[in-house]
Amino acid sequence: MNLILIFFLEEPSAKAMLEIFLPKILPDNVERRYHVFEGKQDLEKQIGKKLQNYQPSPQVQKFIIIRDQDSDDCIKVKKNLTNIAIKAKKQDTLVIN
């Protein structure tokens, strides 16, 4: 059984960092996919639909949303993104902010 980590990122720099970091800590058989948005507003606007587009797969899919906290209330940001993931039926999505 293969594992696919699917990252939803607010900006290209997060992808660049993960592309350097993840190969150093993950086995080669873990596939990584990246969806990069044009900022946090774009991410929050589109994330629900992007999550819904992923259908069940024989491979294990894990969804990870990474969004900068900036000056926003981190609890509210995480709760909002978690609620969006739940509505998209991806309740086990990991939200990092």
* Statement: residue 1 has pLDDT above 70: no
Mean pLDDT of the chain: 93
63 vs 86: CA distance, rounded Å: 12
pLDDT digits (tens, 9 = 90+) for 30-65: 999 999 999 999 999 999 999 999 988 888 999 999
Q: What is the pTM of this model?
A: 0.92
Look at the block and give the residue holding tokens 């819904």.
Answer: 52
Q: What are the domain boundaries of the chain?
A: 3-96
What's the mean pLDDT in 62-69?
92
Find out whether 97 and 82 touch, Cβ atoms under 8 Å: no
Question: What's the Cα-to-Cα distance from 77 to each of 3, 50, 55, 69, 82, rounded to whole Å?
Answer: 27, 18, 26, 8, 8
